Amino acid sequence: MFGLKKIAETSEHASSYYAATANWQTNYPSLVDDVSADIVIVGGGFTGVNTAVELAERGYDVVLLEANRISWGASGRNGGQIIGGVGHDADRFEKKISRDGVEAIYKMGLEGPEIIRERVAKYQIDCDIKWGYCDVAIKPRHMKQFAQWKQWEQDQGNTNDLRLLEKDELQQYVGAKKYLGGLYNGGNGHLHPLNLCIGEARAAEKMGTRIYEQSRVVGIDQGARPVVRTEQGSVSAKRVVLAGNAYMGDLMPKLAKRVLPSCSSVIATEPLSEEMVKQLLPGDVAVCDPRTALDYFRLSADRRMLFGGLSNYTGLEPKDLISTLRKKMTMVYPELESVQIDYGWSGHMGIGLNRMPQLGHIGDNISYIQAYSGHGVAPTHIMARITAEMIAGSPTRFDYFSKINHWPFPGGKLLRRPGLAIGMLYFKLLDEL
């Protein structure tokens, strides 16, 4: 359809640069017995793994179930950008969550990157973490928006190094000539996401968490002590946490209707020369433009250009992913026209209709976390923390999110994707104005 195809998946990691450079190949056992725990977590991405870390640090007996491999989904395939903030425009929900709730959500957005910083240091996780990030302007109105955004952030008490950069100043960080300027944020950054998630899983395991891979959940028996059933075993627990996000499928139909698996893709070049790197990204920062179907890019630790984009609501990837993304990359960097592309991959991210993370409860003892809308590296960490707080008896921050209404996508399975794809086309056209 329209030059698109379904993403080819196996039970192993996608053929990405991240999988090829993973520090450790996970090989946790499959669940083949009936076991019990305090908490069972469904999903081995950032949300599930970090909820396990937070709970294990608090002394809980935790079982984590992953259908494929740890960080198999979006957590191990994304652009690797650490971007602060939670959701979009929490002020919309002030009547539901109070002014205190709005302010708390803003502060949580700043806390997310700091949790990553702390976790990497505490558990000595090798994940190529670097700090520095630039939003870049394509049109003059973007610079006006950046100036307003910077002032608003500072008014809210953001103490990160925030700098509005004119075109010549931007060249110190981003060598691409097409951008008119940018907004630098020293509190955001980038890393190797798969190595971060694997490192966090190993930390959880060392604290007693039992991790099972290749253990797809096929059903949940609700009750006073719910039972989570896999293809060959089961876990009975006091509480269940659902953390599968875009890959939950129809396990919980009510939740599936509220999240749309959207596609994004990344390519990785061959290693570039030090001279070329200094020309293209002298500041070694992560970069995003402000469009709906945005470009995002950064350098890997071994000097590859990692260039991502092609976000769409079809759930499909281009038939010729590498060629399509190469064209986008060379519009930014013509210097990379002839460079070899070593890897190209796609994955699904969970999109919510109102662009706020979805947290809540099903009955008394099943909780869920999903829908980061493409910015999950940092928000997953704070959402995991507040979920652990809730389980430990301090639900205030979790409850702010649980009070927000999340409507199902209109049109059902057959019509919602075409409708949203048309909606994205509309916003793409607005981007060109």
Q: Are 314 and 1 in contact (CB under 8 A)?
A: yes
Quick check: is 136 in a domain? no
Assess if residue 21 is contained within a domain.
yes
Q: For residue 121, count other CB atoms closer than 10 A to its CB.
A: 10
- Report how far apart, in Å, the C-alpha atoms of 6 and of each of 1, 67, 208, 261, 387 are: 10, 20, 38, 12, 33
Q: How many domains does the chain have?
A: 1
19 is written with which tokens? 């999988």
**Quick check: is 145 in a domain?**
no
Amino acid at 363: G
Q: Note the pTM of the prediction, 2 decimals.
A: 0.94
Q: Is 374 inside a domain boundary?
A: yes
Q: What CATH number is attached to the domain comprising 211?
A: 3.50.50.60
* Whole-number Å distance between alpha carbons of 89 and 205: 36
Cα separation values, 308 from 131, 170, 266, 269, 357, Å: 19, 20, 4, 12, 23
Q: What H or E segment, with its residue span, contains residue 278? A: helix 274-280
User: Quick one: tokens of 58?
Assistant: 């608090």
- Domain interval for residue 37: 4-80+194-259+353-415
Shortest CA distance to 31 belongs to which of 178, 247, 217?
217
Within-domain flag for 67: yes
Rounded distance, CA 358 to CA 47, Å?
A: 12
Flag whether 251 is in a domain: yes
**What type of residue sits at position 133?**
Y
Q: Which of 348, 289, 341, 342 is nearest to 317 (CA)?
A: 348
Per-residue pLDDT of the chain (433 residues; tens, 9 = 90+): 557 888 989 999 999 999 999 999 999 999 999 999 999 999 999 999 999 999 999 999 999 999 999 999 999 999 999 999 998 889 999 999 999 999 999 999 999 999 999 999 999 999 999 999 999 999 999 999 999 999 999 999 999 999 999 999 999 999 999 999 999 999 999 999 999 999 999 999 999 999 999 999 999 999 999 999 999 999 999 999 999 987 888 898 888 888 888 889 999 999 999 999 999 999 999 999 998 778 999 999 999 999 999 877 778 888 999 999 999 999 999 999 999 999 999 999 888 888 899 999 999 999 999 999 888 999 999 999 999 999 999 999 999 999 999 888 876 555 555 545 544 444 444 445 5
29, part of any domain: yes
CA geometry: angle 358, 362, 364, nearest 5 deg: 125
- 253 in any annotated domain: yes
